[in-house]
Structure 1
């Protein structure tokens, strides 16, 4: 007979495996920048659209900041705190935070098999 699986345990394991990136704001709040795999279906859809737009418009600096801002609001555990924090950020900070988030939360995509 198989052991009974606990949904609470599975959720805890997923939160550990697909951990968020904590970001401390200048006011001392900690916002979790969530892994794509831990977003709701709707938030994931929005984040993917934004990431595709970012990829296509990487050279268009005028459009970059609003897209990065929107992405950070979608993945933030507390969008209000994140919105307040981002006021006055230069473009370089947006880019740096999103790059760090991508590195920290990169899902275990298909690994190069070496073949």
Structure 2
């Protein structure tokens, strides 16, 4: 498992109080979390929904990939939507697996 985690590294995020949260790659998540994340990312990418629906989808995705969703909930609540979008984009780019 360590070699898989090394290949699919998490994106670290330091909260305002200095707590480190790891935003894990989709491919290392359990199936039910993986599906929820992919559905949420798809909803954001399609852009057909209103801003509130997109924010809810982003929150769901980021909480599902976070190693400490309870602690990260308050951090997300304090972030504006634009920051959440950037975080989701950074996570998506940083956690893509190795090329085949």
Q: TM-score, normalised by structure 1?
A: 0.79
Where do residues 46-65 of structure 1 align in structure 2 (5 Å cutoff)? Answer: 46-57=36-47, 60-65=50-55
Where do residues 22-101 of structure 1 align in structure 2 (5 Å cutoff)? Answer: 22-57=12-47, 60-101=50-91
Instruction: Quote the Cα distance in structure 1 between the aligned partners of 2:60 and 2:49.
Output: 18
RMSD: 1.6
Instruction: Quote the Cα distance in structure 2 between the aligned partners of 1:59 and 1:66.
Output: 11
Higher RCO by CA contacts (8 Å cutoff, separation 6 or greater): 2
* SS of residue in 2 equivalent to 1:87: helix
Q: TM-score, normalised by structure 2?
A: 0.90
Instruction: Quote the Cα distance in structure 2 between the aligned partners of 1:32 and 1:84.
Output: 15
Give the ranges of 4+ consecutive aligned residues of structure 1 lying more than 6 Å apart after TM superposition.
Answer: none
Deviations along 1:51-88, whole A, 9 cap, x unmatched?
Answer: 11112226632321111111111000000111011122
Q: Which structure's residues are more often helix, by fraction?
A: 2
Counterpart in 1 of 2:93? 103
Instruction: Quote the Cα distance in structure 2 between the aligned partners of 1:33 and 1:16.
Output: 14
Deviation at 1:15, TM superposition (A): 0.5
Contact 1:20/1:105 (8 A) holds in 2: yes
Instruction: Quote the Cα distance in structure 1 between the aligned partners of 2:95 and 2:48.
Output: 21
